[in-house]
A = this chain, B = another copy of it.
Amino acid sequence: MNPMAAAAGEHDDELATCIVVDFWANGFGMRVRIALHELRVGFGFVEEDLRIRERSDLVLTMNPVHRSVPILIHRGRPICGSINILEFIDEVWGKRVDTRLLPADPLDRARARFWADFVDHKVFNTQTRFLKSKGEEKEVVKEELLDQLKCLEGVLGDRSFFSGDKFGFLDIVLIPFSSMFRGYEQHGGFDLNAECPFLMQWVKRCKEKESVRQVLPDEGEMYELHKKWYGIE
């Protein structure tokens, strides 16, 4: 696929200089695309099909250490790791549109990064174990996953977004997970609106954002893909 074939964003001047390599259903990569849309950075998109075991030459060249996506290629140079890419995007383009993704205050920034790490190293791990689990184990991991979502709901509190009044870094980090929420409900037999009503209202608010709507995939397709991936019957 031609890197330039799928173009997105309002600023065409960045188009030739900014390419995202990613798989449509990769929650980590969705973050990058949402952030670029949010800061109105035009980018080319190269699909890397993660259902195939082999990685493309582009990925092997641009991320030889981890051989993973997303990769942001900016002026020919790769930036890897979704959180790392978000920091880069914020530092390069955040000032231009006067919309920084991370908060200004160092303590608020530290809190946002702390919870981003929690999402990546706790929630993602629990999601994977949950979707792979069956029977009694499923009940145990389900409770763990719900506890973590409720913990995040506590972090959100009564604010509109994790960053306060406006959609920002931690919102972008977490919102891609919501595309698996219907899958959670079907796999675990529960209603997230009943379990985490405030978090679900936050999801709804995020989905009103154009940047999010453009990127989040269909929840049904996401669950079907993960069913195949994890051998869910």
A107 within 8 A of B: yes
Q: Are B109 and A88 in contact (CB under 8 A)?
A: yes
**Using an 8 Å CB-CB cutoff, how does the interface string of A88-99 with B read, 1 for contact, 0 for none?**
100110000000
Secondary structure dominating the interface of A: helix
Evaluate whether A107 and B77 lie within 8 angstroms (CB atoms) in the complex, with A84-B113, A113-B84, A113-B87 already known.
yes
A79 within 8 A of B: yes
Q: Are A114 and B81 in contact (CB under 8 A)?
A: yes
Q: Are A107 and B65 in contact (CB under 8 A)?
A: no
- Min CB distance A22 to B, Å, is 17
Q: Are A79 and B107 in contact (CB under 8 A)?
A: yes
A118 within 8 A of B: yes
- Min CB distance A61 to B, Å, is 16
A84: contacting residue among B74, B81, B114, CB under 8 A: B114
Interface members, chain A 84-123 (any B CB < 8 Å): 84-85, 87-88, 91-92, 106-107, 109-110, 113-114, 117-118
- Min CB distance A123 to B, Å, is 12
A80 within 8 A of B: yes
Contacting residues, chain B, for A110 (C-beta < 8 A) = 79, 84-85, 87-88
A88 to B113, CA, bound (A): 10
